[in-house]
Amino acid sequence: MAKEDKKDEAQSQEAEKPAAEESKPAEPAEESRAAVAAKEAAEAARAASKDALKAVKLVVSDPVGKLPEAYESLGENHAMAAGIVFGVVFDLCVVIGGFLAIRNNPAVRVLFRGQLDASGVGLGDVIKLIIIGAIPLVSLALGGLVARKFFKGEGVFRKDLFVSGAALLPMSAFLLVTGIFIKVPLIIVAAMPFAISFSVLMLYAACTEMSRISKRAASLAVPVMLLVAGALTYIGWEIL
Mean pLDDT confidence for 36-59 = 75
Domain residue spans of the chain = 37-239
Q: Where are the beta strands (DSSP E) in 39-114?
A: none
Q: How confident is the model over 166-223, as pLDDT tens digits?
A: 999 999 999 999 999 988 999 999 999 999 999 999 999 999 999 999 999 999 999 9
Which element (helix H / strand E) includes 222? helix 215-239
Q: What rounded mean pLDDT belongs to the chain?
A: 81
Q: How confident is the model over 124-180, as pLDDT tens digits?
A: 778 888 998 999 999 999 999 999 999 999 989 999 999 999 999 999 999 999 999
Nearest to 80 by CA among 18, 161, 13, 137: 161
pTM, 2 dp: 0.75
Q: How confident is the model over 56-114, as pLDDT tens digits?
A: 777 777 888 889 888 988 888 889 999 999 999 999 999 999 888 888 877 776 665 55
